[in-house]
Structure 1
Amino acid sequence: MSTSNPPITDAELHAWVDDQLAPIDRERVAAALARDPSLRELAEHYLGQNEDLRRRFSCATDEPAPGRLLQAAMAPAGSRLGRLAGLAAALLLGVGAGWFAHGNFSQPSGPNGESMASGAGAVALPLPRAAVVAHAAYAPEVRHPVEVRADDEAHLVAWLSKRLGTRLSIPDLRQHGFSLVGGRLLPDAIGSVAAQFMFESGTGQRLTLFVRRDSSGADTAFRFAKTDGLTSFFWIDRGFGYALSAEMPRETMLELAGAVHAQTSP
């Protein structure tokens, strides 16, 4: 008879993090965490994500979860962190949309980067909110902050340009102390997509540039927004919305936004 311990599954680890296990199973997972540093690191990562979600979106925790998120949670597990990141992004976007639908935030339209999508029950997050939600989902990631890394920049640009239907350019911010980490494709609004580029300073400070199509029409100058400690400058240029987000002072972000604008809109 084997005395080896069965491996801890992703489902069990998430249930442990969410305090949803029976006492005997919780003890088994705790024992496995004590033996396995890599499993313990992953559990701490999940706990940190839960805490970040609670901190940033505590006012929406009593709202019922959308059906599509429940379906995603019940789907067969794929890659461990890749699926987790996707579900975290879906949760953040769903929570944000729920806030707007329940009137917790105003829903302006027009040339301010805050256009609302059409369709029954469909709500597109305003540009700065969508950018902040995406930043909060991926900037804390250690192992998988991006889908395509900077060492494959040519592929990253070609891929995201094709998906957004325009020729994208990635700004060079090294003179400002930030190097490209990479980028990823994100869902946005109704059946549309957005691009996120991530940059990092020598001290680990992360900055993200969010780009999506915008049908509001007129180009705009820089606009400023601050949400939950995150600073954003956003603008509309030739049918596309741009939003730069980070936890940095307004003056620093304005300088960086100017550098991004100069390189993406020559």
Structure 2
Amino acid sequence: MTSPVGDDDLMAWVDGRLSPERLRLVEAFLSEHPEVRTRLTCQMAQARQMCATFAPAAEEPIPAAMRVGAILERRRRPAWWGALAASLLLGAGFGSGWMSAQHFMPPSAGIGALAQEATDNYRVFSVDMPAAGEVAPDGREGLLRQASLRLGRRVAIPDLSRSGYRYAGGRLVATPHGPAVLFLYNNEQGASLVLMTRPMKIDKTAPMAATRQDDVARVSWALNGMGYSVVGSRSPETLHAVAEEAQRQLTHI
């Protein structure tokens, strides 16, 4: 025989919504089925706990945008209003994403990209100077011929001895924008720096710009289609003076 107590009655018992007549009927059913009473008692305890947890939020006032009057007002607006709002939100999202990318992602072109490429090569090769110079100092003439051929432009090695650095060797390196040549220098205290140069597709002429990445400073500029970046673990001010000496010599090649 089908039980006179259904699931709706049991859920109503948990929620305390039974009429006196149905409550007596359900109580009699639960007396005969203690396992069901145990299960429902657990559900009742969980419901009370959830009510207690979310009671503060339930007491907060309804946000203005969710009130009936505000909803009706939005429904009375013309159809183009929603499209305009969606377009503005999309534009704001795109703009914030673009600005985040500009702020957090490495530059992909121009002087910024050159500085990053020089920094990456500095981190790789400066730790092993002067051995990292594929071409030793006495092989500079051969390196210059090879670099000038690969870069398609005349290349020169600045003399930075007035700034306290001696040339320690060089090598051709690869970058996302084509081949570049890396010149390595060190001083008597063991500090090292590099000067990297390559042709520029954009920012063909650009003033010196000093930037920093963690413990590495770099000063970069471009002149007549060639980009230059001096990188080292020095203060930007110290490195800027070295870069100015290099620029003075490279201007006349």
TM-score by length of 1: 0.54
Give the 3 Å change call, closer, same or farther, for CA 141–147 of structure 1 in structure 2.
same
Q: Are 1:152 and 2:139 counterparts?
A: yes
The CA distance in 1 between the partners of 2:195 and 2:235, in whole Å, is 16
Q: When the two structures are aligned, how many residues end up with a matched partner?
A: 153
Aligned residue for 2:245, secondary structure, equals helix
Aligned residue for 1:168, secondary structure, equals coil
RMSD of equivalent CA atoms = 2.3
The CA distance in 2 between the partners of 1:143 and 1:174, in whole Å, is 16
Q: Are 1:206 and 2:192 counterparts?
A: yes
Q: Are 1:113 and 2:111 counterparts?
A: yes
**C-alpha displacement at 1:218, in angstroms?**
4.2
Give the 3 Å change call, closer, same or farther, for CA 215–203 of structure 1 in structure 2.
same
Amino acid at match of 1:265: T
The CA distance in 2 between the partners of 1:144 and 1:180, in whole Å, is 12
Instruction: State the partner residue of 2:207.
Output: 221
Amino acid at match of 2:146: W
In terms of Rg, which structure is larger?
Answer: 2
The CA distance in 2 between the partners of 1:212 and 1:218, in whole Å, is 11
Q: Percent identity?
A: 24
Q: Where do 1:1-266 residues align within 5 Å? A: 104-105=104-105, 107=107, 112-114=110-112, 126-142=113-129, 144-189=131-176, 192-266=178-252
Amino acid at match of 1:252: T
The CA distance in 2 between the partners of 1:161 and 1:207, in whole Å, is 22
The CA distance in 2 between the partners of 1:159 and 1:218, in whole Å, is 22
Q: Which has the higher helix share?
A: 2
Return 5+ residue gaps in structure 2 as ranges. 1-99
Aligned residue for 1:221, secondary structure, equals strand
TM-score by length of 2: 0.56
Amino acid at match of 1:245: V
CA contact (8 A) 2:129 2:168 kept: no
The CA distance in 2 between the partners of 1:171 and 1:264, in whole Å, is 7
